[in-house]
Amino acid sequence: MIPKALRGAGSSFVAETHVEYPTDTGMLWDAMRKSIVLTSRLCEMYQIAGWRQAFYNLQRLKKHWRKAQQSHRSGKVNLLDKKRKAYNAYLRVAEQYLDRTIVSVESLQEDNLNQQLSLEQWSYLQKELEKIGVFQDYAVLLMDQIRRRVLEDEVIPASEKIYSIFQPHTEWISTKSRRS
C-alpha cells in the first residue's frame, strides 16, 4: 500500500504558439522594430536628438530583412554567395541601428535628465528602458544565431535556439515519433 503522502495526481498540457520560419530572421526584425520604435518614442518625448527618421530606418531595415528572407529562392548558380551577402547586409544594418538604440538609451539614463523627472515620469522611463533592454538583448542573441547558422554553416542545437521573443516560454516539440 502506498502511503497517503506519496499519492497524487498530475496533469500537463502543451499550448501551441506561432513560430515563423526561419525563426531567427523574423525575430531579429521584430526585436529591432520594437527597439527602434520604443527608443524613438522616448527620445521624442524627452527631446533627445537622433531619431527624427525612425520610420525611414524601419523601412531600410525591413528592406534588408526581406532580401535576406528571399535570398534562398533564387535560381542562380551562386545561391549560397547571394544568401550570405544578403544576410551579411541585414546583420550590418541591424547592428548599426542596435548601436544607435544603445547610445540613445545611455542618453536617456543620464543623471541630468533623471533629476528633472517626477517619480511617476522616472518610473515610466525605467519601465520603458527595461523593455528596450530586453529587445536589445534578444537582437544581440539573434544576430549571433544568424551569423553562426548562415555565415558559418553551424547547426544550432535546439536548446540554444530562441523561438519567440514575445512568448519566451516557447519550446520546440517535435511531432515525429522516435523508433526504438
Judge whether residue 136 has pLDDT over 50: yes
Establish if 8 belongs to a structural domain.
no
Q: Which residue has the higher pLDDT, 23 or 123?
A: 123
Let me know if residue 172 belongs to a domain. no
Is residue 83 domain-resident?
Answer: yes
Is residue 165 within 8 A of residue 138, CB to CB? The reply is yes
Q: What grid cell was written down for 61? A: 531595415
Most confident of 31-35, 146-150, 156-160: 31-35
Instruction: Give the Cα separation of 19 and 53 in Å (integer).
Output: 31
The C-alpha angle 167, 84, 38, rounded to 5 degrees, equals 35
Q: Lowest-confidence range among 2-11, 157-166, 167-176?
A: 2-11
In a domain, 180, yes or no: no
Rounded Cα distance, 164 and 66, in Å: 19
Domain extent, residue 54, equals 21-153
Residue 171, C-alpha cell as written in the block? 519550446
- Residues 57 and 36 sit within 8 Å (Cβ to Cβ): yes
The predicted structure's pLDDT at residue 82: 86
Query: Is residue 103 included in any domain, yes or no?
Result: yes
Residue 13 lies in a domain: no
Please say whether the beta carbons of 145 and 94 come within 8 A: no
Query: Count of domains in the chain?
Result: 1
Mean per-residue pLDDT, 113-126: 84
